[in-house]
Structure 1
């Protein structure tokens, strides 16, 4: 049975007045924030704010690198959910919608609901909702129909996951929404898993694209925290760590303010030796020369006899 607008508003205010509801329900806690912290009314019918075209174009340019890796992922997940009438949406960290995918038959419904490029869906502006609450809490959420704060949003079901930038900062929310009455909680759970996987893929590709040209070290891949990646320069100094890697290694920004040796960061320190550096250079030269000592010496700008002496000193056979 559909809940009326008035009864939904009463349910919200009843939860806000309850001294214990916020402690036992994440939705009630968000409703309390919406009223007490953001000063919102669940029955407010004011027109939603929407960013103008020029400002949206500027914002999209600022997020160009993220969008370049996100767009193929959005297209892929849309192909998986389009037939169920869902829209796929990507917002920035403030809840402004940057990208939307929706079928022709459902596009008008999503636009009427305010799920359109340039619309603002922060929790401070719309109350409890998939995009805004995901960004506020920094974790995946499902906001199903009347779990929304605003009465005007109770016909929407939203499945969201956060996306972090290459420095571990919250950068976006990936959202799949449905305005159809037959979108059940069970279906929401299944789609939510797709959303979480897609958000992890965007994070991973964003990190790799940002540190393109550097060696990327995979530490772990976790369904909850994401893919733990390190970016390493040619001297094996760590110059970047994904959010998952920061959590895995307990790294703060201060720890990465100056490059640190990879083995030191991983707790695998060995005594430093100039022979190690020589060995690495010699092995690379021989690899490029396909094992030909004369060609390797030429690449290094030394004579063949010098090459053999250095190989012997580094403990390498020839």
Structure 2
């Protein structure tokens, strides 16, 4: 049976219930695509692409070195690295000189649209629709013309918890197998996490970045905390871990409340304890120097330390 006929049959089968056939069904029924369509993806003009890239300039600057590093790891095997926006438009790429023309023939280049709504089931588009890491291997693609490709993708979440991009590695090697795909997919996921982490940090330049104790290996569980120990930002994974709104505006909260640090102090006592502790840390445990920095006497400093539960021996 031809690939296009098989995809069409499975897409309309009531018994087919896998994630892959669900994507095929979306492509065929929801988006009205034809699996036998052999047309390449359309490409934006350079001016149109520049307009799409402009709002993401800071993000692309952070991501660029990570794309280089990923390509240095896998490029020699004939793979290509692609970075798209949240709608599946390719914004940046890395490919070997010997391979770039062939990838362009498949429509894998800057300015092409690889959303699922236009290209059917594919690594980039399906990753963005399902908001998870995916691998679409050869004949798992919706369009017959893409069945020579293997695509490994991971989503990248923005500092506001919204889906921001997809990171893709595509290969057309005839000997590409499941084991090779898994190795590349793991590296793609790790690189996506690094990009997300670095851009989150860059988005809160004046804040301390705290890694949650139960950080997941495949997700960046980070909080941005200001000088007053107020959490002012959280990654998508951190929002999930701490039961916060998944995306959008972040409501500032005391970091101690999120991290579960409890003590007997309340209200202004907590703020005073933090201020005294900071002064002592800056003075490297010298109580007299810390007292002078706070503008109080040494005896007063000792009384405050006792009331706030700060022990000189622990400094």
What TM-score results when the alignment is normalised by the length of structure 1? 0.89
Q: Mean alpha-carbon deviation: is it higher for 269-278 or for 189-198?
A: 269-278
- Consecutive unaligned residues of structure 2, counting only runs of 5 or more, are none
What is the CA-CA distance between 1:175 and the residue it aligns to?
A: 0.4
Question: After superposition, what is the alpha-carbon deviation per residue over 1:16-41, rounded to whole angstroms, capped at 9, x for unaligned?
Answer: 221111x1x22111111001001101
Compared with structure 1, are the counterparts of its residues 257 and 166 closer, same or farther at alpha carbon in structure 2 (3 Å cutoff)? Answer: closer
C-alpha separation in 2, matches of 1:45 and 1:150: 8
Q: Does 2:74 correspond to 1:84?
A: no
C-alpha separation in 2, matches of 1:183 and 1:132: 21
1:3 alignment partner in structure 2: none
Q: Give the 3-state SS of the residue equivalent to 2:2 in structure 1.
A: helix
1:223 alignment partner in structure 2: 217
Q: Does 2:179 correspond to 1:186?
A: yes
Q: Mean alpha-carbon deviation: is it higher for 232-241 or for 100-109?
A: 232-241
Compared with structure 1, are the counterparts of its residues 181 and 173 closer, same or farther at alpha carbon in structure 2 (3 Å cutoff)? Answer: same
Matches within 5 A, 1:29-108: 29-108=22-101
1:234 alignment partner in structure 2: 227
Q: Give the 3-state SS of the residue equivalent to 1:89 in structure 2.
A: strand
- Consecutive unaligned residues of structure 1, counting only runs of 5 or more, are 1-5
> Paired residue for 1:144, among 137, 146, 165?
137
> Paired residue for 1:314, among 293, 305, 315?
305
What is the CA-CA distance between 1:61 and the residue it aligns to?
A: 2.1
- How many residue pairs get matched? 307
1:274 alignment partner in structure 2: 268
Q: Give the 3-state SS of the residue equivalent to 1:100 in structure 2.
A: strand
Compared with structure 1, are the counterparts of its residues 221 and 276 closer, same or farther at alpha carbon in structure 2 (3 Å cutoff)? Answer: closer
C-alpha separation in 1, matches of 2:284 and 2:150: 59
> Paired residue for 1:287, among 270, 281, 286?
281
C-alpha separation in 2, matches of 1:83 and 1:163: 25
Q: Does 2:255 correspond to 1:262?
A: yes
Question: After superposition, what is the alpha-carbon deviation per residue over 1:181-232, rounded to whole angstroms, capped at 9, x for unaligned?
Answer: 22222211211111111111111111111112201111133134x0211111
Q: Mean alpha-carbon deviation: is it higher for 253-262 or for 198-207?
A: 253-262
What TM-score results when the alignment is normalised by the length of structure 2? 0.90
2:110 alignment partner in structure 1: 117
Q: Give the 3-state SS of the residue equivalent to 1:246 in structure 2.
A: helix
Q: Does 2:150 correspond to 1:160?
A: no
Compared with structure 1, are the counterparts of its residues 26 and 292 closer, same or farther at alpha carbon in structure 2 (3 Å cutoff)? Answer: closer
Q: Does 2:5 correspond to 1:10?
A: yes
Compared with structure 1, are the counterparts of its residues 185 and 258 closer, same or farther at alpha carbon in structure 2 (3 Å cutoff)? Answer: closer
Compared with structure 1, are the counterparts of its residues 44 and 317 closer, same or farther at alpha carbon in structure 2 (3 Å cutoff)? Answer: closer
C-alpha separation in 1, matches of 2:247 and 2:182: 38
Q: Give the 3-state SS of the residue equivalent to 1:149 in structure 2.
A: coil
2:125 alignment partner in structure 1: 132
Say if 2:233 and 2:250, in contact at 8 Å, map to a contact too: no
